[in-house]
Each structure stands twice: as C-alpha cells, then as structure tokens.
A and B are shown apart, each in its own frame.
Chain A
Amino acid sequence: MCPECKRTLGYLITAMTFFALAIAMVLFYVPTEASMGSIQKIFYLHLPVAIATFVACLICFAASIAFAVTRDMKWDRLASASARIAVVFCSVVLLTGMIWGKSAWGQWWTWSPRLTFSLVLWLLYVVYVMVRASVESPQRRAIIAAVYGIIAFLDVPLVYLSVRLMPDIHPVSVELAGAMKLTLIAWFVPVFLLMFGLIALRFRIDQHTATTGSGDQQSIAAPMTWAGGTL
C-alpha cells in the first residue's frame, strides 16, 4: 500500500480509537448530571462538534482572504474543503441540538438563540457550497466564493449578537465536575482529529482533480501523476 494511503488509514484509525475511548467514557465513566438527567450527556458530543464547526468556518475565512490576496488556487481548495466540512459538522450540531431539545423540552424545534444561530450558520455555509456549484469558470468561482466566504464569516458574530436578543426560554448553564471535564476533553480530541483529517482528505481530492486536468475520475492519467509523486 502506498505511503499516502497508509498515512490516511493510520490517521483515521487513530481517530476512531479516540472516538471509541470517548464513547466508553460517556457510557461507563462520567456520572449523570444532577439537574438535567442523562440527556445532558449529549453535551460531550455537541460542544466539541460545535467548536470544530466554528474552527472550520474560521479556516474557510482565512483561506478566502488568502485567495483574494494571492490568487493561488490552493487557498480556494482549502476554503472549499473547510466549508464542506463545516456544513457536515454543523449538521451534527443541529441534529444533537434538536434531539436534546426534544428530550428535554418536548419540541423538535424552538427558535431559541442557540438553535437559530446553528441554523443560520448551517445555511450560510450550505449556500457557500451551492454558490460554488453554480459558477462554471474556476477562476471566477474562486473569487466569488472567496468574497462570499469573507462576508459569511463576518456575518457570524452579527448573527450571534442578534439572536441573543431573542427570548431564551431554555437557558443552559452547566457546572462541570472533574470527571465531566475529562470526558469533554476526551471528546475534543477525536472530533478535532476527524475535522482536520477530513479537510485534508477533501483538499487532496480536489487537488487531484485539478492537477489531472479533468473531472473524469476514471482518467488514465491518474496513476501516472501519482507515480510521478505529485504529493
């Protein structure tokens, strides 16, 4: 097996191991929180994924600026990859938030600040992906996406501030005991490993498509380029 595939596999297996460890901690180690009951355990997944989403959006922002300034396509690829990963991770944030809400307060959806913010964030980056899909020319697509990427991220704090004006029926403040803090940290590791790994993987896929010159994934040129050691 080639070194690159070995690396990717090794990386993902490591991430999986950490996930397994973190799951075990949630199941067997961490105590149930007193006031909210066992539903609070969603928190250990929800928070790290939410932060990871934000980091992915930040990467997209930085890459968008980098592209706008340098016009080097690799930044465009990074922006694209991180935005897609942000959408996937934000979907998890929405999902866990909704399930938590359903269990704790009986409704799948409320216009609470947190859920509304997650939804808007999700929409912002889904639109990013759709904008990219609508522009044919790679150069034009890149600059349009970059401008949108910058605007979308700068919008995030404004959305955050404006949702805080909405009535928050379900404020959630959590006091974390030691075992809980440990479990939370245990979840940050695999989530962030996966986030960076997926961005890198997506980046390589787009880079490969770009350097082989065609979108044809059965292209004969592919093994040749690989053998030539483009990585």
Chain B
Amino acid sequence: MSSGGYVLLAYVLSLLLLWGYAASLLLATRKQRGGKSCQSS
C-alpha cells in the first residue's frame, strides 16, 4: 500500500472509532429515554 493509502486508512479507521463510539453513546441516551423523543418540561 502506498503511504497515501496508509494515511487514508489511519484517518478513516480513527474517525470511525471516535464517531462510532459517539453514536453508541447517543443510542444509549435514546434508549434511556424509552425510545421516544425527549419530552419538553
């Protein structure tokens, strides 16, 4: 693989990891609220 390819691999995997984790946290938040959108107070 060319070094450009490796750079791409590094960025793509890293961002997937970071934002994938963010997504899992957001999903957990949604589940906590019973799967509905938040109610206004």
Contact = CB atoms under 8 A, between A and B. Distances in A.
B10 A226 contact: no
Nearest to A197: B22
A99 B8 CA distance: 10
A111 B11 CA distance: 23
A95 B32 contact: no
B21 A223 contact: no
B15 to A, nearest CB: 7
Main secondary structure on chain A at its contact with chain B?
A: helix
Interface size class of A (residues with CB under 8 A): 35 or more
Given A1-B38, A39-B3, A222 B9 contact: no
A171 interface: no
Nearest to A101: B6
A222 B3 contact: no
A92 interface: yes
A204 B25 CA distance: 10
Interface of A: 1-5, 8, 12, 16, 19, 23, 26, 37-39, 41-42, 45-46, 49, 88-89, 91-92, 95-96, 99-100, 102-104, 194, 197-198, 201-202, 204-205, 208-209, 212, 217-220, 222-223, 226-229
27 contacts: A2-B37, A3-B40, A12-B26, A23-B11, A39-B7, A42-B10, A42-B11, A45-B11, A46-B10, A92-B17, A95-B10, A99-B10, A103-B3, A103-B7, A104-B3, A194-B18, A197-B22, A205-B29, A205-B32, A217-B31, A217-B32, A218-B34, A223-B33, A226-B33, A226-B38, A226-B41, A228-B41
